[in-house]
Structure 1
Amino acid sequence: MTPGFQELRLDGVGRRFSGKDALADLDLTIRAGEFIALLGPSGCGKSTALNCLAGLLPLTSGSIWQRRSDGEKRIDVLPPEKRGFGMVFQNYALFPHMSVRRNVAFGLQMRRLSKAEVARRTAEAIRLVQLEEHVDKLPGQLSGGQQQRVAIARAVVLEPSLVLMDEPLSNLDAKLRLEMRTEIRRLHQSLGLTTVYVTHDQEEALSLADRLVVLRAGRVQQIGTPEDLHARPANWHVADFMGFRNMVEMTAAQASGDEVVLEGEGLRLVGTAMSPVEAGASVVAAVRPEDVLVVEADGQNRITATVDVVEYQGRELAVEARTGTGRALHLRTDQRLAPGDAVTLAVAPERLLVYPREAAEPAPSELAEVAG
């Protein structure tokens, strides 16, 4: 599929509701053929951004531009049907009285293409999503995964310059989510689609996207590749959302370059500063469960704890242990542990990421209380 543009650019895009920013100052350049995931918790602005891009919401500020071989064109002033985008909704939005074939063909018929062209493109789209055996069924006769495939076929049959997907897998069970993730990535690659995908699932975003845009309270926190965000979150909000489940408030006792000596919660640890930190500053130390190791007693960054909860997860256990001060630490291990076991834990300094905590920001513990 030939892309309809070379580049799509969002300049300072914002949207307000009742005088409050739902999205503010979004700057993003999307290259043709890219898969972009908009990621963040509920209410962060990701669906607002998608609806602004689709034309379903007018912008309060900013502009959206397409760069083609013949120059740039501003598109935020165009109605949705003039932008040439396809959209896949969370609830599928299929016509219940129409067969799979008629659902997929509907958009082509509205464009008044010839019957032969409609038939050819409809058959090709249905083949791509592997629903040839179900062409005459109604949506109510299909599984959730099959209905989602019909919705995807209906979007791509129009050969859009951009496909917008708004949490398309959230209504599916865990097994179907995995299958459809693979299907979406396969279609994206085989058709050369440009895709913007909204999700609150960081694992889903990491597995699908070329780049991720993490939003919080309507503002971009970080834009980068899956590797960037997984290994080097820009701040503790991103770290918290990207799976750094252990977030501990501490004090920077000493700071020398990237190395920071931390004190607090009855612990003394060495970590790596992700941005400048001064001695005496309040910080948040973040580490992934898989980077918390069960070790022998001697060595750097040792933490004594007692196993509290053990969850069997096949080859490994998900464990919650508590320090002497009651601080919960989450880890993954292949060692057979049981509640009540005394353990020594360790974290490599390069895996313990340290972020400054601004006084105006809620602490991780406060966020957990709100979320709970």
Structure 2
Amino acid sequence: MTAEGFQQLRLDGVTRRFGGKDALTGLSLTIGRGEFIALLGPSGCGKSTALNCLAGLLPLSEGSIWQDDRRLDTLPPERRGFGMVFQSYALFPHLSVRKNISFGLQMRRVPRSEVRRRTDEAIRLVRLEEHARKLPGQLSGGQQQRVAIARAVVLEPSLVLMDEPLSNLDAKLRLEMRTEIRRLHQSLGLTTVYVTHDQEEALSMADRLVVLRDGRVQQVGTPEELHTRPANRHVADFMGYRNLLPMTVAEATGAVVTVEGAGFRLRGTPVGRVRVGDEVIAAIRPEDLVPGSDGVPATVDVVEYQGRELAVEARTESGVALHLRAAERPAPGDKITVTADPARVLVFSS
């Protein structure tokens, strides 16, 4: 079972408006064959709108979509040749696993022997051989999602679209299904566009991430690029830089700037151009705040156990909340001093 070939899928200035308001503005993106692309962002950022435009479920207000030299946005959904996996599974409750998976092939009037062969292969790929005769109601949530994925890939689509397919599963199943989806993607050479609001999910699965905010692209890059070098404060916020501290630039000397505010100073690395006197945001990951004698004094407020480490919220003397990690349990009320490597403190224009 292999996906239909094409070299690239291209979105040119894709825009979608609802009642005069842009839900998605000027999305331009080229997706290579076999790539796994994650559309990432908070609720209402435009990621599901982008997916529905790709699927043909929403017409474009502006722009175009191309698969190599073939224009797609003028075609109805059924002629685009895409597979889609929904958050809600959308299985037929009265049909067995096998019949759910084979339904699309039968609607396309594929010969019976070919339907049987491709359905058997899809069932094997998602490891549901023992459940083929069961109804969806007899399956767990993870098994139902496997059926939904098999139903999409059995059509051998040129592109698979996935709209938050794991959001209804518990934490353990989400981890298992992440691995399963990545395995299927790699083994079948699928081209996949995956919508999620979970940055950990996106980082672990995607070849490239597209971060959206208010319908506009904030950054496109590999997981490593977005994790270590977010383009702006909004991407940093979404990629785990939980400490976003309003500060003012006190000194700017080349690759390092000194910022101050709320009674303390930090040294950091500017992202873009900042000058003395600028209002900025200093972004720091919790794991990058470490004990230091010449750092910021704070008082431990809340401690949360998270397995191998503890999540700690502390407050500075001026009341600024700092989020950090600790290997040993501090007690609420303990006095601590924290600092961060200037390379780990990103300074953005506010």
TM-score bin, normalised by smaller chain: over 0.9
CA separation in 2, counterparts of 1:265 and 1:119?
68
CA separation in 2, counterparts of 1:158 and 1:40?
29
CA separation in 2, counterparts of 1:103 and 1:293?
53
Note if contact 1:3-1:32 (Cα within 8 Å) is conserved in structure 2: no
Note if contact 1:261-1:271 (Cα within 8 Å) is conserved in structure 2: yes
**Counterpart residue type for residue 173 of structure 2:** L
CA separation in 2, counterparts of 1:174 and 1:352?
31
Classify the secondary structure of the residue corresponding to 2:157. coil
Structure 1 residue 156: Cα displacement: 0.2
CA separation in 2, counterparts of 1:247 and 1:189?
37
Note if contact 2:66-2:72 (Cα within 8 Å) is conserved in structure 1: yes
Structure 1 residue 268: Cα displacement: 1.1
**Counterpart residue type for residue 40 of structure 1:** G
CA deviations on 1:270-294 (whole Å, 9 max, x unpaired) are 1100110011010000000000112
Structure 1 residue 269: Cα displacement: 1.2
Q: Show the counterpart of 1:52.
A: 53
Identical aligned pairs, as a percentage?
74
CA separation in 2, counterparts of 1:315 and 1:150?
35
Classify the secondary structure of the residue corresponding to 2:299. strand
Note if contact 1:233-1:239 (Cα within 8 Å) is conserved in structure 2: yes
Q: Show the counterpart of 1:250.
A: 247
CA separation in 2, counterparts of 1:157 and 1:56?
21
The equivalences for 1:133-152 within 5 A come to 133-152=130-149
Note if contact 1:35-1:197 (Cα within 8 Å) is conserved in structure 2: yes
> Following superposition, which runs of at least 4 residues in structure 1 exceed 6 angstroms of deviation?
none
CA separation in 2, counterparts of 1:254 and 1:10?
43
The equivalences for 1:254-333 within 5 A come to 254-295=251-292, 297-298=293-294, 302-333=295-326
> Does structure 1 residue 66 correspond to structure 2 residue 67?
yes
Structure 1 residue 258: Cα displacement: 2.6
Q: Show the counterpart of 2:17.
A: 16
TM-score by length of 2: 0.99
Q: Show the counterpart of 2:236.
A: 239
Structure 1 residue 82: Cα displacement: 0.4
Structure 1 residue 2: Cα displacement: 4.5
For the aligned residue pairs, the C-alpha RMSD in angstroms reads 0.7
CA separation in 2, counterparts of 1:311 and 1:336?
9
> Does structure 1 residue 126 correspond to structure 2 residue 123?
yes
Q: Show the counterpart of 2:40.
A: 39
CA separation in 2, counterparts of 1:335 and 1:349?
24
Structure 1 residue 116: Cα displacement: 0.7
**Counterpart residue type for residue 288 of structure 1:** R
Structure 1 residue 161: Cα displacement: 0.2
CA deviations on 1:84-109 (whole Å, 9 max, x unpaired) are 00000000000000000000000000
Structure 1 residue 256: Cα displacement: 2.2
CA deviations on 1:30-73 (whole Å, 9 max, x unpaired) are 00000000000000000000000000000000000111xxxx11
TM-score by length of 1: 0.93
> Does structure 1 residue 206 correspond to structure 2 residue 176?
no
Structure 1 residue 338: Cα displacement: 1.1
**Counterpart residue type for residue 24 of structure 1:** T
**Counterpart residue type for residue 114 of structure 1:** P
Q: Show the counterpart of 1:367.
A: none
Q: Show the counterpart of 1:194.
A: 191
Of 254-263 and 274-283, the range deviating more from structure 2: 254-263
CA separation in 2, counterparts of 1:340 and 1:226?
37
Return 5+ residue gaps in structure 2 as ranges.
none
Return 5+ residue gaps in structure 1 as ranges.
358-372
Alignment counterpart, residue 338 of structure 2, candidates 319, 334, 345: 345
CA deviations on 1:146-204 (whole Å, 9 max, x unpaired) are 00000000000000000000000000011100010000000000100000000000000
**Counterpart residue type for residue 17 of structure 2:** R
Note if contact 1:304-1:324 (Cα within 8 Å) is conserved in structure 2: yes
CA deviations on 1:307-362 (whole Å, 9 max, x unpaired) are 111111121111001110011100112123111111111111010000001xxxxx
**Counterpart residue type for residue 34 of structure 1:** E
